[in-house]
Structure 1
Amino acid sequence: MAWNEPGSGKQRDPWKDGGNSGPSPDFDALARRLRDFFNRLFGGGGGGVAIALVGALIAWCAWDSMVRVNASDTGVVLRFGRFSRLMTPGINFKFPRPVESVVPVPIGKTLQTNDQVRMLTKDENIVLVDFNVQYRISDPRLFLFGVRDPDGTLGQAAESAVRTVIGGSDMDTILSGQRSELMVQAKQLLQANLDQYKAGLSISELNFQNVRPPQDVKDAFDDANRALQDKQRAEEEAKAYASQVVPEARGDAAAVRAEAEGYKSKVTARAEGDAQRFNLVESQYKAAPEVTRKRLYIEAMEQVVGNTPKVIDLSSGKNILNLPGAADVRVPAATIVTPDPGKGGR
């Protein structure tokens, strides 16, 4: 509805009646009452100062009600010192102080602590261990209210975990390649202790930066370390020699076995051939004994006398037989004689 309607014959004042027919507050009267109140409060002459103070108070409250939280932080809102809520990164609003205050907690940053401890190993050797712990804040509320000094608690818990792991291991184990396993054990033990303390911390890494003996026993330790290295080198050389010799020995054994198998096959085949030939000769002998005996005798004499340069005949030349191979011997033909196999002469 318009303030001044044509033809109504009536002019309306929006500041007095609000443009409506109902009752409306008188802002001039309200301002006068406020001015009179501050005049009485400040002795009648401080109305301007009071207004300035009120304006400054309102501006300060408006300014203190806005909080900017960084991207790597989380804001913990405390209402009269007690936990109220968490603020996400960005612009947030709260009640002005002293009603509410904000404590930024860097949950997105990786923090670290370093320390050095001197301790005894399981085999009663003294070592110095330099270790480094990298951690993050996992729970801002527990970080602020779980323990009184989170950083100090972390340092003491880390030292306790390292002492537990190192004290339960031998010197050789600590200095050898198993050091990584010891670091994993120390990290797990430290995280379990922090969870039990409700410190609101999460361990990212725990590293043994340097493990060494004290300066007082360094020379003896170096000698023992060199002996250990010599032992390891000798073991590696022995393994290399074994890896070279064993395959050669296996190859030689395989060759001997193959040769033996070949010889076995050859001898077996020859024996079987001789047995078959003997069976054939036997069958022929049964069919014609006299002829077979004479033929066998002649073949045997050919093999015996064929390469003999001289033959002595004791039968007075009654039976003379020219044998193959005897032609190469330059002797009279009458001397190359054989006895009659039927008479048994020699």
Structure 2
Amino acid sequence: MAWNEPGNKGKDPWGNKSGNDKGPPDLDEVFRNISKRFGGGKGNGSGPSFSSFSLVIVLGIAVAVWGLSGFYTVKEAEKGVELRFGKYVGEVEPGLQWKATFIDEVFPVNVNTVRSIPASGSMLTADENVVLVELDVQYRVVDAYNFLFSAVDANASLREATDSALRYVVGHNKMDDILTTGRDQIRRDTWAEVERIIEPYKLGIQIEDVNFLPARPPEEVKDAFDDAISAQEDEQRFIREAEAYARAIEPKARGQVQRMEQQANAYKEREILEAKGKIARFELLLPQYKAAPEVTRERLYLDSMQEVMKGTSKVLVDSKSSNNMMYLPLDKLMQNSQSDSKPRKVSSNSSLNSSSNTVSKNSMPTDSRPSRGERQGRN
């Protein structure tokens, strides 16, 4: 009861009357009363002093033990998450730290170690085939508080997200791509899909790498798929051989093209020059033709006939005076002339051949060229 309350009647808080105010009770008396209640304090006058001293020692030891129990160590690769009465206070850096026991809690989390979560299973591909796929996700903790308290179990959440992402990506790809050429693309697509799934959950982790292990078909059809893979490898080998052959042939073809272009240009230039030469020749011939048409016409005819007869071995001459056609075997005549120019032994056969050649020569007309009148008539 407070002093200023009505009805206190002059009593102090310790039960004394206002007339006998002796002040607060002595500590020895207080400890003596406590010791009596717990069955102690009977004896000489030194008992209460000893009991109070013992209690102080006990309290001091308790305080010291409580204070020493608050020291703890956070390892170099860890960060501590400190909670005070269950409320987040902050992160604790590595080293020797102190906390208030029964008040603060610290949960150390390794933030430097790269952790790994595997995922595997039989999955259905886009072309309705079943394939056995294995995946390994490597990650690291970047936010210790979110890793501990954002989800019930961050590792389990990441494992489920990886399995879901892997099934999604495999289900949108064909089996040939999964087994052979498309493995790297599937790995990158799975990585992106896992990050997309876990982003809203804020798990406090960062994915470092995704290892897509070699996929394989079910054991029941493994032999058939091995043959298919061998065929694909042969296909790639043939493609590389064809590319090598193309690289070897292409320079030669380009060289041939350039040579043909140069030959065509040379032919073009030659024809142009020859045409210009013919034009110049006819321009020079025109004044002469105007001055002496008959002589010029005769000369042109002779030049033309010489040019025509130069490439033939037989000549047929039609004579207007008779119905006979003269035949001039020029090839035989040339062969005989060449054989006559070479020395040879005299024999019966050679004498016969020479006599026959003489007869044939004598039987031929001396001048097989048409007369001037005939040429003019033809012109």
Would you call these one fold, judging by a TM-score over 0.5?
A: yes
1:136 and 1:204 in contact (8 A); partners too: yes
What's the CA shift for 1:182? 1.2
The answer (yes or no) to whether the contact 2:81–2:106 under 8 Å persists in 1 is yes
User: Are the aligned partners of 1:165 and 1:186 in contact in 2 as well (CA < 8 Å)?
Assistant: yes
User: For 2:295 and 2:302, how far apart are their aligned partners in 1?
Assistant: 11
- SS at 2:133 equivalent: strand
Amino acid at match of 2:248: Q
Cα offset, 1:71, TM superposition: 2.1
Identity of aligned residues (%): 36
Aligned alpha-carbon RMSD (Å): 3.8
Inter-CA distance 124–38: structure 2 relative to 1 (3 Å threshold): farther
Partner of 2:88: 83
Q: How far, CA to CA, are the matches of 2:227 and 2:306 in structure 1?
A: 85
Give the structure-2-normalised TM-score: 0.66
Q: Is it true that 1:64 corresponds to 2:69 in the alignment?
A: yes
Secondary structure in structure 1 of the residue aligned to 2:210: strand
Q: Deviations over 1:172-223 (max 9, x none)?
A: 1112232112111111111122222222211111111231112222111111
Give, in angstroms, the shift of residue 82 of structure 1.
2.8
Q: Alpha carbons of 1:118 and 1:303: their partners in 2 closer, same or farther (altered >3 Å)? A: closer
Gaps of 5+ in 2: 1-25, 42-49, 311-339, 342-365
Q: State the 1:90 CA deviation.
A: 2.5
The match for 2:352 is: none
Tell me which of 249, 266, 271 is aligned to 1:267: 271
Query: Match for 2:97 among 87, 92, 100?
Result: 92
Distance verdict in 2 for CA 1:252–1:39, change over 3 Å: farther
What CA distance in whole angstroms lies between the structure 1 residues aligned with 2:236 and 2:369? 82
Q: Which moved more, 1:162-171 or 1:335-344?
A: 335-344
Contact 2:80 2:106 (8 Å CA) reproduced? yes
Provide the C-alpha distance between the structure 2 equivalents of 1:337 and 1:195, rounded to a whole number of angstroms.
111
Q: How does 1:105-254 map to 2 (within 5 A)?
A: 105-254=109-258
Which residue type is aligned with residue 174 of structure 2?
A: D
Structure 1 residue matching 2:213: 3-state secondary structure: strand
Indicate conservation of the 8 Å contact 1:38/1:50, yes or no. Answer: no
Alpha-carbon distance in structure 1 between the residues aligned to 2:177 and 2:374: 97
CA distance in 2, matches of 1:223, 1:303: 74
By how many angstroms is 1:38 displaced? 5.2
Query: 1:157, 1:190 within 8 Å by CA — same for their partners in 2?
Result: yes
Residues 144 and 295 of structure 1: CA distance in aligned 2, closer, same or farther (over 3 Å): closer
CA distance in 2, matches of 1:194, 1:263: 75
The Cα offsets for residues 80-111 of structure 1, whole Å up to 9 and x where unpaired, read as 233222112223333x2210011101112211
Length, aligned pairs only: 297
CA contact (8 A) 1:194 1:201 kept: no
Counterpart code for 2:236: Q
Alpha-carbon distance in structure 2 between the residues aligned to 1:298 and 1:180 = 85
* Compared CA separation, residues 344 and 48, structure 1 to 2 (3 A): closer
CA distance in 1, matches of 2:130, 2:375: 104
| Closer, same or farther: CA 36–262 of 1 in aligned 2, 3 Å | farther
Q: Which deviations, in whole Å up to 9, do the C-alpha atoms of 1:239-276 show, x marking residues without a partner?
A: 33233334433332332232222122212211220121
Partners of 1:159 and 1:304 lie apart in 2 by: 93
Q: Do the aligned partners of 2:146 and 2:202 also contact (CA within 8 Å) in 1?
A: yes
In 2, Cα distance between equivalents of 1:338 and 1:124: 94
Q: What's the CA shift for 1:299?
A: 7.2
Question: How do residues 274-285 of structure 1 correspond to structure 2 at under 5 angstroms?
Answer: 274-285=278-289
- Residue 78 of structure 1 aligns to a residue whose secondary structure is strand
Distance 1:72 1:154 in 2: 22
Deviation at 1:337, TM superposition (A): 12
**C-alpha contact (below 8 Å) 2:179/2:214 kept by paired residues:** no
What pairs up with 1:283-294 in 2 under 5 angstroms?
Answer: 283-289=287-293
SS, match of residue 123 in structure 1: coil
Distance in 1 separating the partners of 2:224 and 2:308: 86
Q: Which 10-residue stretch deviates more, 266-275 or 43-52?
A: 43-52
| Greater Cα radius of gyration, structure 1 or 2 | 2
